[in-house]
Chains A and B, each alone.
Chain A
Amino acid sequence: MEFNGDVLTIDSSMSMKEILEFEAFIRPRLEYIEIIEISDEDALKCSALLSLLSSLKRTKSDLQIPFLDKRALSSPEYGTIHWICHD
């Protein structure tokens, strides 16, 4: 996880433990973060990260998460994953 100005960069390969740590980290700091970048998109390990990113976006609608905006992920392991956000 890297902080550069208003941009937070995270790994998509986070384990559940790391996701919980990330959640605890970002909760009090959400208002200071403008963009969340994902460094290795196709290494997603846990669907909880997808949920957390969606929740962050739902909480702060002007937050930019380019990964989430793509609405799909193609991975050698999982095939194509689409997420329907209803927003």
Chain B
Amino acid sequence: MTKQEQVKAIFIEEAGEIIEKLDIDIIRFEENSADLNLLNEIFRGVHTLKGNANAFGFTRLGEFVHHFEDVLDHYRSTKEGIEGDHLELFVGSVDVIKEVMVCELDAIEFLPQSYSECLEQIKNLIAMKKGLVPSAQLLSSEETVSDFADLASEFGFGCDEEFDNSVQSCVSRYQEMREEGLNLYKIDLMLENDCYKRGFDHLLFLKALGEKAESIESFFDMKDVWVLDGFKSDENAIKRVCIIVLTLLPRDDVDEIFEFLFDHEYKIQIIDAITKKVEPLHPQGTLHVEQKTPIKSSAPSAETTSSSIVSSKSTIRIDTFKLDELFDSVGELVIAQNFIAQNEKIGEIEDESISRTIETLSKITKRIQDRVMSLRMVAIKDTFEKMKRVVRDTSKKTGKEVHLIVQGEDTEIDKTMIDSLSDPLIHIIRNAIDHGLEADANERALGGKSSGGSVTLKAFHKSGSIVISVSDDGRGINKERVLQKAIERGVITGDENLTDSQIFSLIMQPGFSTAETISDLSGRGVGLDVVKTSIENLRGKIEIDSKVGEGTTFSMVLPLTLAIIDGMLVQATGEIYIIPTLSVVESFRPEKEIVHIVQGKGEFVSLRGQYIPIIRLSDVFELKSEPIQPWEGILVCVETESGRIAIMVDELIGRQQVVIKTLGKSLARLKEISGGAILGSGDIALILNVDELRPLNESVHV
């Protein structure tokens, strides 16, 4: 990747973050449009996006955000109240920015229609606010752009004339002054507003150039300096500085002075000049300025240049790939440490200092593992913030009044999982509003509820897992109707004795929908099965709880991280297996009397009135072993998507957190195994995919 490509990749990532933040901020602003700080925050995001977009040739995005920025700037500086329609336009503008960004990245020639529509509305709004057109008057898009520019100039909005004239006059004077061997440069500095925080200042560049200059003049354009209310000293408000310098320095040396700036922050031009042969240059490299002020002879510019690179960042960006590599290495370290701690030969050494060293190594390894783990953990807050937009849009589309309640937004979760959680959450929330909440306020009133429905988004820790739940206070799921539909669709036969949870889980079967009307939001029978698959891919599960007339709760139970699994180590037929603790219900040695064999169905254990099928791992993996009776072994009862099963093992080894290793292609076809892990002893254990240990149609409940 070239340097330019690297910078572009950083821009794309940053732009993505800015847009994501805009999406959240604009909804917060819609809720409280009097919040000027938030408006300033949105303005700054749009401003940065504009600079970056234009720098990378994303002109269509640049054009749009440029006009959007103008509108925001107007409201920011005038503190004028924002009308509802215009707020809607702001929200729509952020949508357009998102769409255009995709078009720019994928080099899609045709932009969505919303682009030109929204842009025209923005331009009209600016024109109206500047008093250039009456509020009701709409301009055609052709008229708006050109006429507005002309009118702006006529009414004095185009105020660059004085600046340009001053610069041009200086260039002419310097052209006259130019002597042989001297180069004349015109340098435009357009430093970003965070330049001071990055350690740069206009004066540093003037100083660096001045040290080797024959003559130097600069012009600071102060038109973007705001009144105190919108002003912050540590944010650069001087958006344009033009430097005219007559110097011996060749182009490369001038480039070097600005090399630490972004490409879009400076532009260097060599000015062709009328040359005249005059006397030699001033000795000592002294500088002539207009007022003939003597220039101090000073140290080389290296000091100045290096002093301008001040690193004050408290955070750094790390490629997640590198983080994964680091995590893998720590995984290996843990394995090696376990190997030392469990090695019999080392254990036989009776030496206090060795034991202490091993113990210290163990503690340090654990600390490193915890810290590396924490690098991957991020608060779920941002994901929850995004859901506000989903609730808002769905509420508007369905015409239902919805209150969103968010709890536990500081709960941390693996970054990899966060990325995969958005889609399932969006689907469940839409489903909750579209089908969960009552459409009719009277229906809610009859149930003693307020007219506006509520959706609660909650995240919390529970037994070493993370639970993210979406609850609504709507009509709840009609259990009988779900059962009837499941029988009609052949999902179940009707003979099963299903628990409430199992009945509710039926709605997540592919093609299953109880919705009477299909909307563009939900109810098409596809979706909840995809949600279920997505969550299962994260090694989690969904639990549904519902009460008719009171509401429904979808709980996504997820592991803390995808890289480590909390597992129960068991031994069966001489091999060690790992059962994810999340699915383990209980383990026990059965009495002979409760074990039954059903002709053609296999072995079952009767537990509290329920017949649970017994799974022998030797049968699943076709291993040769001496058969033992179930009451001679131990049964580990686990919850699977198709009900409970009892896995028969010889011995329970213990509970342990293990680093998951993916298996090679040759073992990928074994769906009963989801991965492997290297144990402290150096042995390899397979992680069981309990959901695949028994297909759905074999479930038998009495």
Contacts and interface: CB of A to CB of B under 8 A. Distances in A.
A76 to B, nearest CB: 5
Contacts of B206: 77-79, 81
Quick one: which of B196, B220, B241, B294 has the most chain A CB within 10 A? B220
Interface in B205-252: 206-207, 210, 213, 215-223, 225-229, 231-234, 236-238, 241, 245
Interface in A36-87: 42, 44-52, 54-56, 58-59, 74-86
B202 A54 contact: no
Contact of A86 (B210, B223, B227, B290): B223
Contacts of B222: 50-51, 54, 83-86
Main secondary structure of the interface of B (DSSP, over half): loop
B166 A47 contact: no
B562 to A, nearest CB: 44
B182 interface: no
Interface string B284-296: 0001011101111
Contacts of A74: 289-291, 293
A19 to B, nearest CB: 5
Contacts of A79: 206, 210, 213, 215-218, 245, 287, 289-290, 295
A79 B286 CA distance: 11
B290 A77 contact: no
A20 B290 contact: no
Interface string A14-34: 001001101100010010000
Contacts of B294: 76
A55 B224 CA distance: 10
Nearest to A79: B216
Contacts of B226: 55, 58
B318 interface: no
Nearest to A74: B291
Contacts of B210: 77-79
A42 B237 CA distance: 21
Contacts, number: 128
A50 B219 contact: no
B196 A82 contact: no
B220 A81 contact: yes
A74 B291 CA distance: 7
Interface in B171-212: 196, 201-203, 206-207, 210
A48 B166 contact: no
A23 B233 contact: yes
A46 B207 contact: no
B218 A82 contact: yes
A27 B229 CA distance: 9
Contacts of A58: 225-227
B504 interface: no
Contacts of A82: 166, 217-220
Contacts of B296: 76-77
Contacts of A23: 232-233
A36 B229 CA distance: 19
B220 A19 contact: no
B314 to A, nearest CB: 17
A28 B538 CA distance: 54
Contacts of B201: 46-48
B216 A78 contact: yes
B219 A78 contact: no
Contacts of A78: 203, 206-207, 210, 216, 218
B578 to A, nearest CB: 56
A19 B201 CA distance: 14
Nearest to B286: A76
Contacts of A16: 196, 233-234
B83 interface: no
B445 interface: no
A56 B295 contact: no
B162 interface: yes
A83 B207 CA distance: 17
Nearest to A78: B206
A30 to B, nearest CB: 7
B162 A86 contact: yes
Contacts of A80: 216-218, 289-291
Contacts of A22: 233
A54 B222 CA distance: 7
B237 A51 contact: yes
A16 B295 CA distance: 25
Given A55-B227, A76-B293, A78-B203, A84 B162 contact: yes
A48 B293 contact: no
29 contacts: A19-B234, A20-B234, A23-B232, A47-B201, A48-B196, A48-B233, A49-B233, A50-B220, A50-B222, A51-B222, A51-B233, A51-B237, A55-B226, A56-B228, A58-B225, A59-B227, A75-B293, A77-B298, A78-B206, A78-B210, A78-B218, A79-B213, A79-B290, A80-B289, A80-B290, A81-B206, A82-B220, A83-B222, A85-B222
Given A16-B233, A54-B222, 17 more contacts: A20-B233, A47-B241, A48-B234, A55-B227, A55-B228, A59-B229, A75-B289, A78-B218, A79-B289, A79-B295, A80-B291, A81-B220, A82-B217, A82-B219, A83-B220, A84-B163, A86-B223
